[in-house]
Amino acid sequence: MFKAVIFDWDGTLADTKKAVVISFSKVLAEVGCVVNDEFIERRIGTGTRKTLEDALEHCRIALDYETLEKLVRRKVRLQAELSKIVDLFEGATALLDALHGRTKNALATMSGRKVIDKLLSEKRIEKYFDVVVTADEVPKPKPDPGIFLVSATKLNVVPKDCVTVEDSIFGVKAAREAGMKCIAIPSGAYTKDELKNENPDLLVDSITEKEKILDFIFEEQVHTIT
């Protein structure tokens, strides 16, 4: 069995798409940059700064470092204020509860600490995580494996004994680079076929498939794509 499970947040445990899109769209509009919702959705999981940089490049708008940092901070504040429109996916709490006390569990998210701390408190699920690592604690976004490696270190578990749960191609790539197994769920912006192309070790339709996920975690099934 795996000793630790490392969860992504946006699109994996929680449906944050609307809050993310609204907050990005508002701050980008302030500097005259307009992109469609899909542009933002397809970058969820890469971090606030990277998404803003991509959007500004797309709009051919150059900003100095200080102004960009102000946009980052404003976007985080706006998203935190939208916490009420964020819902956990059906089955998320049931899976966390089933793992509680049986494995070490971490949350590894490219969302900011201010956003995550508020959401975990409001949704009353802080107790399920031994470690929470956010974008504020790593220099590079997914698909860089840094956030997963930091999580493993804080859990005091070697990467090969960790399995990640992800919804994005960036997350699957990061898990592979970290030397971890990965369970992929097409509940975010990426389709099942897109995730399958990244060769996750287990691919399920929904986080409600608790028994299949638990079987993989505790029985170490190898490379099960469905």
Residues with a catalytic annotation lie at 8
| Other beta carbons within 10 Å of 199 | 14
Structure tokens at 28: 């980008």
- For the beta sheet containing 131-133, the strands, ordered from the edge strand earlier in sequence to the opposite edge, are 131-133, 104-108, 4-7, 162-166, 181-184, 202-203, 224-225
The CA distance from 152 to 5, in Å, is: 9
One DSSP character per residue, 55-67 reads HHHHTT----HHH
